[in-house]
Amino acid sequence: MKLLRKAKGVFLVMLAVYVLSFGGGFLAGKLKVVDLKALQKSKIVELNRTLEYRVPGYGDMLKSYKAWHQPKMMGLMTKKDSLGLGLLIFFNNFVMANLTMTVRAATLVPMLLYPVGRFTQGLTMAQTPANVRLWGTLVAEFGGYLLTICGALCLSLWTIFFRGFKFASRREAFGSGLKFFGLMYAGSAFFLLFGAYVEMMSILAMSIR
């Protein structure tokens, strides 16, 4: 409870950033004041999409994973293997995507691009036919990634500004941050597991048509 109180400000700020960024993108999409295709070609959106791939070593790992993931997913879709497909989606979101979110949040600077991604996401959703499964997946992934991002941000911010967060020492702040991050990461599994199930059902439903 004590750590949650210390993290409250971080959660509120990130929630506000998400709502304003996604909401702004969604509104812009509905009003048709921003061209999605043109925005996707912009340098800042391209940077946000490819940032991890520019990191030596880490980028190579992601490329290898993507090269394995795409054909694996197509194979499971063809076989209509619901369990395998659901587990693959969960692994992709809980392990790989969460890892990317953690790296971005822990290093702080790349998080400046977070509003760009959420604005683009909102713009895309505004121009996508709405259905319960699509929104269910979005809400589940939002909840899962928000926990991971805020947990990683708290780890970094508490360690750097330990006095401001009323920790006795940087070591105590780091230890508390690691504990809190671990709890948030584990908690994200509940959201992402539900999201994987909804996404799997959506993919299989579309493949039957």
pLDDT in tens, 66-121: 999 999 999 999 898 999 999 999 999 999 999 988 988 888 777 788 899 999 99
Nearest to 136 by CA among 188, 64, 196, 79: 196
Determine how many CB atoms are found less than 10 A away from the CB of residue 182.
Answer: 12
What distances in angstroms separate CA 156 from CA 4, 14, 129, 143, one per listed residue?
Answer: 15, 15, 39, 20
Residue given tokens 């439903």 in the structure block: 205
What distances in angstroms separate CA 190 from CA 103, 150, 177, 182, 195, one per listed residue?
Answer: 21, 16, 21, 14, 9
Cβ contact 52:59 at 8 Å: yes
pLDDT at residue 18, as a whole number: 94
**Token digits of residue 66:** 């993507």
Whole-model pTM: value is: 0.90
Cβ contact 188:148 at 8 Å: yes
Structure confidence at residue 208 as a pLDDT band (50, 70, 90): low
What is the rounded distance in angstroms from the CA atom of residue 52 to the CA atom of residue 61? 10
What is the rounded distance in angstroms from the CA atom of residue 188 to the CA atom of residue 144? 4
pLDDT in tens, 23-68: 999 999 999 999 988 888 899 998 888 888 888 888 888 899 999 9
